[in-house]
Amino acid sequence: MYSITKKLEKLKKSRNAVILAHNYQRGEIQDIADFTGDSLGLSQQAAKTDADVIVFCGVHFMAETAAILCPGKTVLLPDPQSGCPMADMIDAEGLKKKKAEKPDTKVVCYVNTTAAVKAESDICCTSSNAVKIVSSIPEDEEILFVPDKSLGAYVSSKLGRKMTFWPGFCPTHHRILAQDIKRRKREYPNAKVVVHPECTGDVIELADHVASTTGIAKYCRESNVKEIIVGTENGIIHRLQKESPDKRFIPATELAICPNMKKNTLEKVLWCLEDMDAENEVTVPEDVAERARLAIERMLELSEPSPALKT
């Protein structure tokens, strides 16, 4: 481990590289990353970096977003197979067909989508700004929210606004059941419950707080309770525990593991930077990138900075 870290430090300098890690990455990757954060925070870091190479420790759509925002930079994904099953629940052709049914509908796409789907959308959002993005659309406009029906339903209930949802979902967050939260509350009666909006509505109803992964980290840092039940992918607990060693973080279920997020390993981070292999490089054709960039930039203009943790 020690020698990997040393080698990485050297390579980072010689390649002028930055390492970005999502809050669900393995603990050892979070520890060597320059920044750890949520989807919004990491895309903001990518947009402003002056590094030549971005090693994106996350899943494919995140690296694609970085590639769209940073033309001319090299974006590497340590494991090129780390996709997102939710992002794969919609494609550009399917979205075009749906849009043709109601051409005036505004399409809000969750960042968990391919570049091609973003290119067909009016504006992008992440879990940390979805409420703000949807409320920026005039009340008299119809909205199609893609692809996460759970995040869509959460935003819709927060704003009391009707929207049409694409029937996508996160298989990892849907493994967290209301009965898991109820069981944990019986086991830890003094604990607070914090969950991600990709969870189902019945889980969200049982929560004290609902937020993006960086929002969850903020809540856990600032809360004065000592026990917190966490309803999101369990990789985040590494960060939570590091930031608040005196608190106890209880995963809602041990099953909330995203296998794709875990495909990246410390060795693969090193190898991708050593080899700079085309297999690891994420690129987006410029005609698609240009249209997808519009949807992402519209979102960024409306977003507050999401603090990425500097490691």
Q: Write out the residues near ligand 13P by the rule CB under 6 A.
A: 23, 38-40, 84, 112, 126-128, 170, 196, 198, 212-213
Distance, in Å, from the CA atom of 53 to the CA atom of 240, rounded to the nearest integer, reads 28
With CB under 6 A as the contact rule, the residue among 38, 64, 180, 233 that binds ligand SF4 is 233
260 binds, among ligand SF4, ligand 13P, none (CB under 5 to 8 A by kind): ligand SF4
Q: Is 65 in the site for ligand SF4 (CB under 6 A)?
A: no
Scanning 84-92, 185-193, 241-249, 301-309 for contacts with ligand SF4 by CB under 6 A, the matching segment is 84-92
Q: ∠303-308-309 over CA atoms, to 5°?
A: 160
Tell the smallest beta-carbon distance from residue 114 to ligand SF4 (Å).
12
Question: Which residue in 276, 260, 293, 212 sits closest to 54, CA to CA?
Answer: 276
Q: Is 228 in the site for ligand SF4 (CB under 6 A)?
A: no
Tell the smallest beta-carbon distance from residue 299 to ligand SF4 (Å).
17
Q: Is 20 in the site for ligand SF4 (CB under 6 A)?
A: no
Distance, in Å, from the CA atom of 78 to the CA atom of 280, rounded to the nearest integer, reads 6
Distance, in Å, from the CA atom of 131 to the CA atom of 143, rounded to the nearest integer, reads 13
Structure tokens at 117: 């789907």
Tell the smallest beta-carbon distance from residue 26 to ligand 13P (Å).
15
Beta bridge partners of 228: 192, 249
Q: Is 230 in the site for ligand SF4 (CB under 6 A)?
A: no
Q: Is 260 in the site for ligand SF4 (CB under 6 A)?
A: yes
Please list, in sequence order, all residues whose beta carbon lies within 8 angstroms of the beta carbon of residue 168, skipping any fewer than 6 positions away.
Answer: 86, 89, 90, 146, 147, 148, 149
Scanning 186-194, 246-254, 257-265, 281-289 for contacts with ligand SF4 by CB under 6 A, the matching segment is 257-265
Report the DSSP pairing between strands 106-110 and 123-125. Answer: parallel
Residues 278-307 that bind ligand SF4 (CB under 6 A): none
Closer to ligand SF4 by CB, 114 or 260: give it.
260
Q: Is 261 in the site for ligand SF4 (CB under 6 A)?
A: yes
Closer to ligand SF4 by CB, 51 or 90: give it.
90
Q: Is 111 in the site for ligand SF4 (CB under 6 A)?
A: no
Q: Is 59 in the site for ligand SF4 (CB under 6 A)?
A: yes
85 binds, among ligand SF4, ligand 13P, none (CB under 5 to 8 A by kind): ligand SF4
Closer to ligand SF4 by CB, 120 or 198: give it.
198
Closer to ligand SF4 by CB, 109 or 170: give it.
170
Q: Is 86 in the site for ligand SF4 (CB under 6 A)?
A: yes
Distance, in Å, from the CA atom of 218 to the CA atom of 306, rounded to the nearest integer, reads 11
Q: Is 84 in the site for ligand SF4 (CB under 6 A)?
A: yes
Site string for ligand SF4, 143-182 (x = CB under 6 A): ---------------------------xxxx---------
Please list, in sequence order, all residues whose beta carbon lies within 8 angstroms of the beta carbon of residue 100, skipping any fewer than 6 positions away.
Answer: none
- What residues line the site for ligand SF4 (CB under 6 A)? 59, 84-86, 112, 170-173, 198, 233, 258, 260-261
